[in-house]
Chain A
């Protein structure tokens, strides 16, 4: 672990999808603290998902470096990376009717050799992950029959089965209703308390406010502000980011973000 308590250090990272394409990210330099929930917040197209894919290693930065747990990300093999980073993708579309337990067992792949099948110990860990995600009762159901919120939790459990130090979530609550979004966020909160580092992308400042203790505000591929949630989620920052007048109230001891009402 690095000395300054950063799980992820992003140092001067720029990225474009092709030589003729515009820069999607421009000289990003931020640190993500260990054992915290960090939200990558920004409007659609601001580069959050690209940044997440760079952290995952799915994309490689054109310039700059990413350090994971104090080591240059390029020094990890893909298999090592998959033991450190667990991903919960935005919309996991499962074609075949795996049971929830079989689905979560896929998260054991980083620990299994090419010809190995999951063992009893893997099943034990998968069941623990299901319990952590609060859906132990669903293990025999088919993943394709789950509701959106349940499927998202199953995917969180699959990522937890990887026993990662860092959990990446791409828009984890954007298509969930209030109750299901709250369920996910409370699971994330308890994971944080167990010492996991959590990184999530969201375009919704209130989702960030309700769970993150650290926010990185992105706009057009650049970091507009980064730091503890209360210092980043200000009306000045958010108005600059989203291009609409934004008001930030304090409700229940945390920021609540409102846009100005439309004229009647």
Chain B
């Protein structure tokens, strides 16, 4: 007994093995994605193409590689942020899309394009500012709504704030120059990675990588922050300060991603749940799990988006389609972990 008393329970060992498998799957998916595309032929780019066809070489290096990397980063960020929002707000039904963060970011990005000239850092800064504003507005409204429990109130407030932002984005769309600005804005509302180049990627990596690293390092604290304030306090946690750091990382990385990739829905809501189901709810393993599952999911969806048809399918439409499907299956199988 005493020899085993400090050993982890078997579930923890399985979860570690599954995490290792997930890492392997992401690497494998990444490698395979390099050989998927519409050029030279549809679907598969053979190693022979890469050896002989210089256009194919340039395409893979300059377009496909940054796009694949971006897909993984987008998925990791959205899913990690979703986990943070769910745990910090003690609410398994929220993600950036349900808290006014994504809508705020796309409104801010549109505003920057139409009114402020559209330089990259202005777009990102504007997206981050309005994303944070959206989160704050949803939270404060959620506290003041006069019916329903906390889970429902926060979701309702987030829906209202998102709708306000969407109508604002609609006005901007109406005002926008149909030739110069409108295509850019329409793109945000659909969400996709087709324009991503190395410079685009290099603009978001300096923001998203530090945020992901901070979230990863602080992941065990998320468990403490998912307790009530009274409990967190009694465990010596400076809950206000730690929540602020985690939320800032989640919002800033999300808005950076949204400013480049547009609205990619449901990833932040569903992927954390899948990760918890496979790895347990302890954020020590569930958070890295959510990052990996999210990265893999967006990577695969983007592969489909860019190869299935000769025209591009907007990525946001695909993730919403699959995400909503998974959501319905989970709800109908009564696996949804909302308890009263």
Contact = CB atoms under 8 A, between A and B. Distances in A.
A87 B230 contact: yes
Given A95-B92, A123-B6, A56 B282 contact: no
B281 interface: yes
Nearest to B277: A97
A252 B56 CA distance: 91
Nearest to B92: A95
B236 A101 contact: no
Contacts of A96: 87, 92, 223, 226, 276, 281, 337
Interface string A65-108: 00000000000001101110111010011111111011000110
A92 B228 contact: yes
Interface string A115-151: 1111011011001100000000001101010000000
B231 A87 contact: yes
The residue in B217, B228, B235 that gathers the most chain A C-beta atoms within 10 A of its C-beta is: B235
Nearest to B339: A144
Contacts of B8: 123
Interface residues of B, number: 34
A109 B281 contact: no
A25 B218 CA distance: 39
Contact of B233 (A78, A94, A117, A123): A78
Contacts of B105: none
A114 interface: yes
Contacts of A89: 228, 230-231, 234
A167 to B, nearest CB: 11
Contacts of A78: 233, 236, 238
Contacts of A162: 235
Interface centre among B11, B87, B221, B230 (most CB of A within 10 A): B230
A12 interface: no
A110 interface: yes
B313 to A, nearest CB: 34
A124 B8 CA distance: 10
Interface residues of A, number: 46
B235 A98 contact: no
A55 to B, nearest CB: 11
A56 B233 contact: yes
Interface string B217-246: 110110110111011011111100000000
Contacts of B235: 82, 106-107, 109-110, 162
Contacts of A106: 223-224, 227, 235
A58 interface: yes
Given A92-B228, A96-B281, A121-B6, A110 B220 contact: no
Contacts of A79: 236
Interface string A43-76: 0000000000100111000000000000000000
B168 interface: no
A86 B233 CA distance: 10
Nearest to A92: B231
A140 B11 contact: yes
B139 to A, nearest CB: 17
Contacts of A93: 228
B275 to A, nearest CB: 12
B91 interface: yes
B5 A109 contact: no
A162 B238 CA distance: 16
B195 interface: no
B9 A101 contact: yes
A98 B281 contact: yes
Interface string A153-164: 000000100100
Contacts of A142: 281
A244 B53 CA distance: 95
B280 interface: yes
B6 to A, nearest CB: 4
A116 B220 CA distance: 8
B284 interface: yes
A149 to B, nearest CB: 17
A99 B283 CA distance: 12
A56 B234 contact: yes
B57 to A, nearest CB: 43
B12 to A, nearest CB: 9
A199 to B, nearest CB: 13
Contacts of A139: 9
B234 A87 contact: yes
Nearest to B235: A109
B181 interface: no
B11 A117 contact: no
A239 to B, nearest CB: 33
Given A78-B238, A82-B236, A58 B230 contact: yes
Contact of A81 (B11, B236, B282): B236
Contacts of A57: 233
Closest 8 A/B residue pairs (Cβ): A82-B236, A87-B234, A120-B6, A96-B281, A110-B236, A109-B235, A79-B236, A124-B6
Given A89-B231, A94-B227, A123-B7, 18 more contacts: A78-B238, A89-B234, A92-B227, A92-B231, A96-B281, A98-B223, A98-B281, A99-B9, A99-B281, A102-B223, A107-B235, A114-B221, A116-B220, A121-B6, A124-B6, A139-B9, A140-B9, A159-B234
5 contacts: A58-B234, A95-B90, A109-B235, A120-B7, A144-B339
